[in-house]
Chain A
Amino acid sequence: MTLDDMVRLHGSWLEAGTTEGPVISSRIRLARNLEDYCFPGWASEEENHAVWKQTAAIFKDMDSPFMNWSMSDTSALDKEILFERHLISQELAQEDDSCGVFVTPDERLSIMVNEEDHIRIQSLQPGLDLQGAWEVADKIDDALEAKLTYAFSPKLGYLTSCPSNVGTGLRASVMLHLPGLVLMEEMDPVINGISKIGLAVRGMWGEGTEAAGNMFQISNQITLGRREDQIIAHLEQIVLELIDHENNARIRLMNEKSLMMEDHIARARGILSNAKLITSGEALNLLSSLRLGLDLGKIDQFSRRDLDMLFISIQPAHLQKLENKELKPDERDVVRAAMLRKYMKSATNNSE
């Protein structure tokens, strides 16, 4: 499968669209390094090349097929697509030589090579399923460890380039859609509370991104001194509490601010159906309102699956790939608005 085909599909981890509620997806990341080489950011070109060659050979021999992109042979636009689909990090997208990514066709498992660490395993599952994501990551980790000697110390666990990941090398995270808490202006205390118990809140695309479209990623910060199952159970418990908070906020919105809510959703429909120019930030926020409307039963002509896919396909690189040409930011706003108008029209017609 090529990226041209992929941009027309949504990553299967986004199938959460079929279930209602605030949870989008669950993710497990494992950081691993090879004993015999310096960490990628400090290693010589020869060392990085050797790691890349060695890992590429292992993936070639795997029973199940992996798609792969070497960053040196991947265009800037294609790297951006991989980033928008959560398959690589912004950091890897900026690199060229001796690094890349291996991805299963369903896009639920991706392994970055020579990012900050030699190996970064990422496993994504739709909905709240950290355990399922962990099992997939754990399995590929074992398969890689059978052929590679990891840097591991009995005391400090898996050794990583940054001490913030040492130990389990595990970052578990859950992506949540929390428009209720945002609209009730309760998100700030929630973020404060969460950061006090050793968890972090980030935007939709991870570190350093803002929470556009009311999408938030909640993840663990502590990686040492706790077992993987403890880290996962703790995060899951907090996520379940957050879901309760969000659902409560939605109920209060419906009870106390019903007219405001309906207005909010109706305006989102109005703009998405008629705008001629729209930035990705504005579009994400309006799509978030539709998603909320759908969850609350205020509208029913849209599918959650389509809305969730639009969150990705209105992104700059996806738009350009779908249009098959390079677009400047203001040109993108035109194309994005047209795409959204078209979707709104077809969704409304289908329901009639």
Chain B
Amino acid sequence: MKCECCQKAEATIHLTQVLDGEVKKLNLCQTCAQENGIDLNSPISITDVLLGLGNQQGTEQSKESPAEFDLSCGRCQMTRAEFKKRARLGCPDCYQAFMGELSALTQAMHHSRQHVGKIPARQGNEARFSAQIAALQKDIETAIAKEEYETAAALRDKIRTLKEQVPSSESGGPNDA
């Protein structure tokens, strides 16, 4: 069996994972396994185990495009393999670069993908705006569920007015990513 990553060398490492009841297999050669941060000798931390979830997604993509494996952060040059090996990110922008696996990872670790806590005072205007819109959107859903359409319409208008007041914050909506 050939390595699924480089398609050249013989695969000697066979990983099996059960995700949502579905069995997925990944066959790699020694070199590709190491390059992708799979170290069979090192002790496994909870982060490593959970990173495996992200890895699974990477595997699916890799079947179509092996180049995905070389994904790296444009700012600090940390590669996906290095991130997985160290279980630590390189810089704040890595969260953007590795969004795919991090999304699965934070969901598994924290059962959430959305911050709701403290917002820094000086730089948090955009975040506070997003939080306000998100809260209003939630209220709209509740109103619709209760068939209170007039309330929902009023809330929708409120969101519109808010967005007109701050036209520059369109990009940072809470439901991005």
Contact = CB atoms under 8 A, between A and B. Distances in A.
B118 A154 contact: no
Contacts of B8: none
Given A38-B76, A39-B91, A163-B89, A157 B117 contact: yes
A35 B92 contact: yes
B167 interface: no
Interface stretch (B24-32, B108-116, B145-153): B108-116
B117 A142 contact: no
A33 B109 CA distance: 20
A145 B121 contact: yes
B13 to A, nearest CB: 25
A135 to B, nearest CB: 13
A155 B118 contact: no
Given A152-B127, A156-B95, A157-B117, A39 B90 contact: yes
B102 interface: yes
Given A152-B127, A154-B172, A159-B92, A228 B106 contact: no
A3 B86 CA distance: 34
A146 B121 contact: yes
Contacts of A116: 88
B131 interface: yes
A154 B174 contact: yes
Interface string B109-135: 111111111111111101100110000
Contact of B120 (A39, A145, A156, A163): A145
Interface string B59-102: 00000000000000001101000000011111110010000001
A33 B172 contact: no
A143 to B, nearest CB: 10
B106 A154 contact: no
A42 B78 contact: yes
A225 B113 contact: yes
B176 to A, nearest CB: 6
B88 A39 contact: yes
B113 A162 contact: no
B131 A154 contact: yes
* Most-contacted residue by chain B among A141, A156, A166 (CB, 10 A): A156
B142 interface: no
Nearest to B78: A42
Interface residues of B, number: 40
A116 B113 CA distance: 22
A59 interface: no
Given A146-B122, A149-B123, A167-B115, A33 B110 contact: no
Contacts of A35: 92
A170 interface: yes
Contacts of A226: 112, 116-117
Contacts of B86: 41
A138 interface: yes
Contacts of B106: 156, 163, 166, 224
A149 B92 CA distance: 12
B47 interface: yes
A157 B116 CA distance: 8
A225 B114 contact: yes
* Most-contacted residue by chain A among B88, B95, B112, B113 (CB, 10 A): B88
Contacts of A141: 118
Contact of B110 (A42, A159, A162, A225): A225
B105 interface: yes
B95 A153 contact: yes
A164 B110 CA distance: 8
Contacts of B90: 38-39, 42
B177 interface: yes
Interface in A131-173: 138, 141-142, 145-146, 149-159, 161-164, 166-168, 170
26 contacts: A38-B76, A41-B88, A42-B78, A42-B88, A43-B91, A152-B119, A153-B92, A153-B95, A153-B115, A154-B172, A155-B113, A155-B114, A155-B176, A156-B113, A158-B115, A162-B87, A163-B89, A164-B46, A164-B47, A168-B115, A222-B109, A223-B110, A224-B113, A224-B114, A225-B110, A228-B117
Given A39-B92, A152-B127, 20 more contacts: A33-B92, A38-B91, A39-B89, A145-B120, A145-B121, A152-B120, A152-B123, A153-B92, A153-B95, A154-B127, A154-B131, A154-B172, A155-B114, A159-B95, A162-B87, A163-B102, A163-B105, A222-B109, A227-B118, A228-B117
Interface of B: 46-47, 75-76, 78, 86-92, 95, 102, 105-106, 109-124, 126-127, 130-131, 172, 174, 176-177
The 9 closest A-B pairs by CB, nearest first: A225-B112, A157-B115, A151-B92, A224-B110, A154-B127, A42-B90, A168-B117, A38-B91, A154-B130
